[in-house]
Structure 1
Amino acid sequence: MKHYSAPKKDNWQGRISNKSLYLHEKVKCVPLDEIPEPPKKSIALLGYACDEGVKRNQGRVGAVKGPDVIKNSLAKMPNHLPSTVQLYDAGNITCSDGDMEASQQALSLGVTSLLDKKQFPIVLGGGHDVAYGHYHGIKTHLGSKKEGQTIGIINFDAHFDLRQNTQNNNSGTPFYQIAMECKKENIKFNYLCLGIRKDANDRNLFQTAKELDVNFILSDTFQIQFLDEINTWINAFIKTVDNAYVTIDLDGFSSAYAPGVSAPSPMGFTPQIVLECLKTIIASGKLISVDLAEMNPKYDVDGQTAKLAASLVHHIAHLLFP
């Protein structure tokens, strides 16, 4: 399969218990096209090893190595998943010759395949252009159903990523691209951004967000003391859609927690508020898929960002299947 690499068992090393006490003892490395339709509940991890979009967006490259580093950190974490839940590593979507669009298409096909097989996909990036391919994979899967076709995108991020793609597609354009396709198809663009910073988005991006009727919460409000109000906004948004797709841009976190990203800033949000919001989203029963973006090991400090990303995956998996 082009633009794909099979899972590596070397990514899954850690303390040996022989009792599946750790996730490296729980996970099964199975190529994407061999992932079965499970007899029991399953989570499938799929990497998006591509930072061509970051390069095009004039960001710091290095996120291409993000997926494997996240898996390596996740491997060492304890396993509290029930024995009735399976965990797969389905390998990585790759990018060659700068062909980001082909990688996005491969990701779309991969996500559709996993959803069709009743897996819960968690995609590990890679640049935030991951969102365009991921969204289309969900959309294709839902297109075969008679009901439940509307998708609400919830983006934990400092940036709207609504840049116009007149020059090229990149890590800053995915939601603008999706919005334009929604407009062409005469369907509503359902997009909620949590953690938007005024010092990270120019006035044109705020104007685009207004024109596209984007829902957003600014960073000065996206704080734990306002959790009740934030949950009210999240629940109101989720009620308007049939399915929720969550994308977490690690550069939205303060660099105190996530130094290893493509666009770091000390002014970002905390892990605590994101975890609390994830509880609300998962409790809705509408979450269909998740991704994490912009993990850049080249600039990480003591594996701090990798551990944050892995902890987010760990929390999501155990909230889904307690």
Structure 2
Amino acid sequence: MNNFKKPNSSLWQGRNTNANLYLHEKVICADAIKKESTKTFAILSYACDEGVKRNQGRVGAVTGPEAIIKQLAKMPNHLDNNTKLLDVGTVFCIDENMEHAQQTLAKTVTSLLKNNNFPIVLGGGHDIAYGHYNGILNAVEKDKTIGIINFDAHFDLRANTNGNNSGTPFYQIAEDCKANNTTFKYLCLGIRDDANDASLFKTAKELGVTVVKNEDFNLHQSKKIQEQISTFIQSVDVVYTTIDLDGFSSAYAAGVSAASPMGFSPNIALQCLQTIIKSGKLISLDIAEMNPEYDIDNQTAKLAASLVHTVIHNA
């Protein structure tokens, strides 16, 4: 059962200059993953919202990656000639088999990392994180500690007693770490009291999760936040960053599976991203919960695309 499609070049459209001034002119739609000798960013799509459906959320994120790519394509290209930008294709979900999609995602991420690519995975539900993390786990040396930094309103630490979904990925990772006697390192930025019940805060405390709550996640607290991020990064060998768009206020991100006006702003997120990038330990990133069904004037897709634009031009 093949659940991987080659990239769709028709998504990469924009102003034509014949001088690579825009990303749609820079991108290469790759037929296969190859060993890269220069800096290479690889866009990988995860077209799956089965986890959102299982978690009783608003479906529609299955088309999220396409919406992000369409906005990214039109953005200016400031990459040097030696830096590559690839679209390597789409992992999708067949017959509601989210676990198979996660396995394919993991294998693809592993292949990208082992071939000197920087993966940027576009989702799709936040179940993207379990597949993405396992792809990193299988690519890095066994003695390396992976630090997860999650920009999110939610912990996504729900127990998977009744099955896996978009709210269980970090609980699943924690359970795997426990079984393998490895360290679970997890930093959450933007956690809201009104988006997590008491049992989730209890689980986070028991697992030693580092938490910056939403009321403290703003530019007024910037210095303290950057110190917390730096301290966390110093305790790990590599960093995997995941950005759940529902962490942003719906003023900026209405097109998500669980929107709220109470989220954080792009300014603090961008500042934190710069801190993470400057550490030199960031090796992979994803963006989750882009739901075009509820977007307004493509604002959420544009936000997601701008986040990707920031990463590829600074990492």
TM-score (ref. length: structure 2): 0.99
The match for 2:304 is 309
Deviates more, 1:104-113 or 1:182-191: 182-191
Alpha-carbon distance, 1:90 to partner: 0.5
Q: Quote the Cα distance in structure 2 between the aligned partners of 1:173 and 1:10.
A: 34
Alpha-carbon distance, 1:207 to partner: 0.4
The match for 1:263 is 258
The match for 1:139 is 137
2:13 alignment partner AA = Q
Look up the SS of the partner of 1:319 in the other structure. coil
**1:251 partnered with 2:249:** no
The match for 1:6 is 6
Alpha-carbon distance, 1:119 to partner: 0.2
**1:82 partnered with 2:77:** no
Instruction: Report if the CA contact (8 A) 2:38-2:82 is conserved.
Output: yes
What's the RMSD between the two structures over aligned residues? 0.8
The match for 2:167 is 172
Q: Quote the Cα distance in structure 1 between the aligned partners of 2:197 and 2:142.
A: 40
The match for 1:54 is 52
In structure 2, the gaps of 5 or more residues are: none
Q: Quote the Cα distance in structure 2 between the aligned partners of 1:36 and 1:295.
A: 28
Q: Quote the Cα distance in structure 2 between the aligned partners of 1:230 and 1:39.
A: 35
1:44 aligns with one of 25, 42, 45: 42
**1:111 partnered with 2:106:** no
The match for 1:91 is 89
The match for 1:67 is 65
Alpha-carbon distance, 1:39 to partner: 2.4
Q: Quote the Cα distance in structure 2 between the aligned partners of 1:48 and 1:113.
A: 16
**CA deviation vs aligned residue, 1:139-191 (integer Å, no higher than 9, x gap):** 0001xx365x2100000000000000001100000000000111111111100
The match for 2:206 is 211
**1:24 partnered with 2:24:** yes
Q: Quote the Cα distance in structure 2 between the aligned partners of 1:35 and 1:133.
A: 18
Look up the SS of the partner of 1:98 in the other structure. coil
2:153 aligns with one of 158, 180, 183: 158
Question: How many residues are matched?
Answer: 315
Q: Quote the Cα distance in structure 2 between the aligned partners of 1:46 and 1:14.
A: 20
1:163 alignment partner AA = R
Look up the SS of the partner of 2:314 in the other structure. helix
**1:275 partnered with 2:270:** yes
Look up the SS of the partner of 1:220 in the other structure. helix
Q: Which runs of 4+ in 1 moved over 6 A?
A: none
Alpha-carbon distance, 1:2 to partner: 1.1
TM-score (ref. length: structure 1): 0.97
Alpha-carbon distance, 1:276 to partner: 0.2
2:237 aligns with one of 242, 251, 256: 242
Q: Quote the Cα distance in structure 2 between the aligned partners of 1:146 and 1:197.
A: 34
**CA deviation vs aligned residue, 1:2-36 (integer Å, no higher than 9, x gap):** 111110111000000000000000000013xx122
**CA deviation vs aligned residue, 1:298-317 (integer Å, no higher than 9, x gap):** 11000000000000000011
Q: Quote the Cα distance in structure 1 between the aligned partners of 2:220 and 2:80.
A: 33
2:14 alignment partner AA = G
Q: Quote the Cα distance in structure 2 between the aligned partners of 1:288 and 1:160.
A: 22
In structure 1, the gaps of 5 or more residues are: none
Aligned CA distance change for structure 1 residues 169 and 184 (closer, same or farther; 3 Å): same
Q: Quote the Cα distance in structure 2 between the aligned partners of 1:189 and 1:41.
A: 29
**CA deviation vs aligned residue, 1:230-285 (integer Å, no higher than 9, x gap):** 00000000000000000000000000000000000000000000000011001000
The match for 1:125 is 123
Instruction: Report if the CA contact (8 A) 2:37-2:116 is conserved.
Output: no
Instruction: Report if the CA contact (8 A) 2:22-2:74 is conserved.
Output: yes
Look up the SS of the partner of 2:216 in the other structure. coil
